[in-house]
Amino acid sequence: MIISVVIPLYNEEQNIKILHQALTETLSNIEHDYEIIYIDDGSTDETLNILEEIQSKDNKVMVLSLRRNFGQTAAFAAGFDFARGDIVITMDGDMQNDPKDIPKFIEAIKGYDIVSGWRKDRKDPFLTRRLPSMIANWLISKVTGVKLHDYGCSLKAYRRDVVKNLKLYGEMHRFIPAVASWYGVRIKEVETIHHPRLHGKSKYGISRTIKVLLDLITVKFLQSFSTKPIQFFGPLGVVFSLTGLFISAYLTVEKFIKNIPIGGRPLLLLGVLLIIVGVQIIGMGLLGEMIVRVYHESQKKPIYTIKKILSSI
């Protein structure tokens, strides 16, 4: 079995050497073969030079250097594309995750497809990090139905086929367990050690919360309606249109039967607006249906995933 460790690095010049040493110490003591993939995410400091130096001395190391800063999710995606291992482990490159946890993850993944870390004793500021994260974890668990204590922990282990089949966008790497659960994977959670950041600065601020929230809406929508958008937009559009039609019918009666002028009534505007918006929402659902067909049929992507085929033919 080969273990691939995938680590994105963005301006982590002070951490790399310590990280590499700690990693090598742990990995050389496990019974499996391993590779370490460092992804330089367009760093502007000495990160790439230090990585080049490490790579030239250690043949277990692969370095991918991205042309510019594409973000952590893209860096992970690059690492997944190049990983050759049967098990792929991801972690942060700032030494906040501890390489010593890796054997625990390799052990835990037996019988599972994903092992997700839980920074139970997290060493980050409360107000800007732990509190938003607590709310986010609760919300993501509720919305996606995949209950994890710590979605944001980068230290995770995946079986090869999980990461090879994933397409990642936005800030989506934290949603991998939720996204993968659509394919029916088995997920386990293990507690991990967490350290405060000793060198360099965190690359994120509180604004990340909004991005994560938007990604959550996307994930939820795709999870529930990606193969049937009309069932999401349809009912909404029908309710809007019917309400509009009802209002308009009422106003028509007022005008032609009771002879009351309706030109200056706000209700008229509302009725017309609801009809137009309703029809457009239904139209959006139908467009969605066409996009779904283009997506699945042009790429011959099935709308199901098979675990096993039993047949004697």
**Residues found near Mg ion in the complex (CB under 5 A):** 92, 94, 96
Question: Considering only residues 24, 26, 65, 69, which one is a binding residue for ligand UDP as defined by CB under 6 A?
Answer: 69
CB of 303 to ligand UDP, least distance (A): 33
Distance (Å, rounded) from C-alpha 2 to C-alpha 212? 32
The item of ligand UDP, Mg ion, none sharing an interface with residue 69, based on CB under 5 to 8 Å by kind, is ligand UDP
* β-strands 114-118, 187-191 pairing: parallel
Question: Considering only residues 160, 203, 220, 228, which one is a binding residue for ligand UDP as defined by CB under 6 A?
Answer: 203
Q: Which long-range contacts (CB under 8 A, 24 or more apart) does 122-130 make?
A: 122/150, 122/194, 123/96, 123/194, 123/195, 123/196, 124/194, 124/196, 128/205, 128/206
Does position 171 bind ligand UDP by CB under 6 A?
Answer: no
Looking at the Cβ atoms of 71 and 177, the one nearer to ligand UDP is 71
CB of 145 to ligand UDP, least distance (A): 25
Q: Looking at residues 12 to 31 of the shown chain, list those that interact with ligand UDP (rule: CB under 6 A).
A: 12
Question: Considering only residues 35, 50, 51, 72, which one is a binding residue for ligand UDP as defined by CB under 6 A?
Answer: 72
* β-strands 156-159, 114-118 pairing: antiparallel
Question: Which of 169, 137, 135, 170 is CA-nearest to residue 152?
Answer: 137
The item of ligand UDP, Mg ion, none sharing an interface with residue 35, based on CB under 5 to 8 Å by kind, is none
Distance (Å, rounded) from C-alpha 90 to C-alpha 110? 17
Q: Which of these segments, 7-15, 48-56, 136-144, 263-271, binds ligand UDP (CB under 6 A)?
A: 7-15
- Ramachandran region, residue 115 (left: φ > 0; alpha: ψ -120 to 50; beta: rest): beta
Looking at the Cβ atoms of 136 and 251, the one nearer to Mg ion is 136
The item of Mg ion, ligand UDP, none sharing an interface with residue 175, based on CB under 5 to 8 Å by kind, is none
Measured CA to CA in angstroms, residue 147 lies from 52, 143, 222 at distances of 40, 9, 18
Output the six-digit token pair for 232: 């999401």
Distance (Å, rounded) from C-alpha 279 to C-alpha 267? 18
CB of 75 to ligand UDP, least distance (A): 4
Does position 99 bind ligand UDP by CB under 6 A?
Answer: no
Strand, coil or helix: 146: coil
SS3 content of the chain, % helix, strand, coil (to 5): 50, 15, 35
Question: Considering only residues 96, 116, 144, 241, which one is a binding residue for ligand UDP as defined by CB under 6 A?
Answer: 96
Does position 202 bind ligand UDP by CB under 6 A?
Answer: yes
CB of 119 to Mg ion, least distance (A): 10
**Type of residue numbered 126:** F
Looking at the Cβ atoms of 196 and 283, the one nearer to Mg ion is 196
| In contact, 63 and 35? CB cutoff 8 Å | no
Question: Considering only residues 79, 85, 93, 285, which one is a binding residue for ligand UDP as defined by CB under 6 A?
Answer: 93
Q: Does an H or E element contain 39, and which?
A: strand 33-40
User: For residues 279, 284, 286 and 290, what is the CA-based torsion angle, rounded to 10 degrees?
Assistant: 160
Question: Considering only residues 8, 99, 234, 237, which one is a binding residue for ligand UDP as defined by CB under 6 A?
Answer: 8
Question: Considering only residues 3, 10, 34, 234, which one is a binding residue for ligand UDP as defined by CB under 6 A?
Answer: 10
CB of 12 to ligand UDP, least distance (A): 5
Contacts with ligand UDP, residue ranges (CB under 6 A): 8-10, 12, 41, 69, 71-72, 75, 92-94, 96, 202-204
